[in-house]
Structure formats: structure tokens, C-alpha cells
């Protein structure tokens, strides 16, 4: 596990492949939650935690809820949509007939990409929240 801290936020990358729901549960059992990535800057900051692992993608705490027709955080609350969030997700694909990739991961293209929630990936946990987290090296 690698950890990067800021004033209010700590990201922890977990070098263990899990399904999205298991990753969320594991973060919660450690007193954290799957990372709430809200914009490109947060992707870059969170990426600092897993740079050394050379993995290209990690689960984060957002998925598409078909019932609500909206993105939700791992705790079930709706994502507050704004231009910064919309710039890193592909909302259009979620409305396509038969599309079943609902859980999102950070890609190496600094975007959130949808995949089947049953896929196994490494993941990023987060402790604390901030609208303006600034990463510092330890």
C-alpha cells in the first residue's frame, strides 16, 4: 500500500485486485472509502499514490446507478455534477441500450472509465474530504 497525504485528504493505493464492491468494503473496513474523484486535478493527485506500482488503472468510488439514472458515490449518495466532473466521465455511454459497465476506474488517460463491476482491479481508498485537496510528498 502506498499513501499520499494532503492537509485534509489521504489517498491509499491498494496493490490487491478486487471487484468494485469488495474494494469499497475493504476501504470501509479500514476507516476509509473508495476515492471520490471529482475532477482531473484529483486524478493527478491520486495517481501519485500508485505511480510506483506501474498499474494503469484503479477502481475509484463512483458508479452509475440505473435506477437513479445518475452517478453515485460508493456510499450511495448522488455525485454533484459540474463541468469538471462531466469532463472526466462518459455519461453518454451509460444511456446506451444494453450497456452494463457501471463501475468507474481511473485510466492512464486521466479520465474515469466504466467497466463491469465484477472485474478485478487494484483500488484507491481515501480518508478525509476536501474541495481543494493539495497533495504533498512525504
SS3 at position 126 = strand
Predicted confidence (pLDDT) per residue in 100-114, tens digit: 899 999 988 888 999
pTM of the model: 0.83
Q: What is the pLDDT of residue 103?
A: 95
Q: What is the pLDDT of residue 85?
A: 93
More confident: 90 or 132: 90
pLDDT higher than 90, residue 116: yes
Strands (E), the chain: 2-6, 10-18, 33-34, 58-65, 70-73, 103-106, 112-115, 121-127, 135-136
Please give the domain boundaries of the chain with CATH numbers for all domains: 2-129 (3.10.100.10)
pLDDT higher than 60, residue 131: no
CA distance 112 to 106: 5
SS3 at position 123 = strand
Predicted confidence (pLDDT) per residue in 65-92, tens digit: 988 989 999 999 999 989 999 999 988 8
Helix (H) or strand (E) holding 91: helix 91-94
Amino acid at each position: 500500500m502506498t499513501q499520499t497525504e494532503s492537509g485534509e485528504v489521504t489517498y491509499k493505493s491498494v496493490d490487491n485486485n478486487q471487484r468494485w464492491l469488495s474494494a469499497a468494503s475493504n476501504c470501509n473496513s479500514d476507516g476509509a472509502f473508495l476515492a471520490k474523484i471529482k475532477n482531473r486535478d484529483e486524478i493527478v493527485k491520486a495517481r501519485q499514490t500508485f505511480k510506483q506500482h506501474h498499474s494503469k488503472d484503479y477502481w475509484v468510488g463512483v458508479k452509475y446507478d440505473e435506477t437513479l439514472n445518475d452517478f453515485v458515490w460508493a456510499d450511495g449518495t448522488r455525485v454533484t455534477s459540474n463541468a469538471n466532473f462531466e469532463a472526466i466521465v462518459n455519461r453518454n455511454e451509460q444511456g446506451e441500450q444494453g450497456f452494463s459497465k457501471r463501475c468507474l476506474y481511473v485510466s492512464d488517460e486521466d479520465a474515469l472509465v466504466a467497466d463491469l463491476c465484477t472485474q478485478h482491479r487494484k483500488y484507491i481508498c481515501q480518508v478525509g474530504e476536501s474541495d481543494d485537496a493539495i497533495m504533498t510528498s512525504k
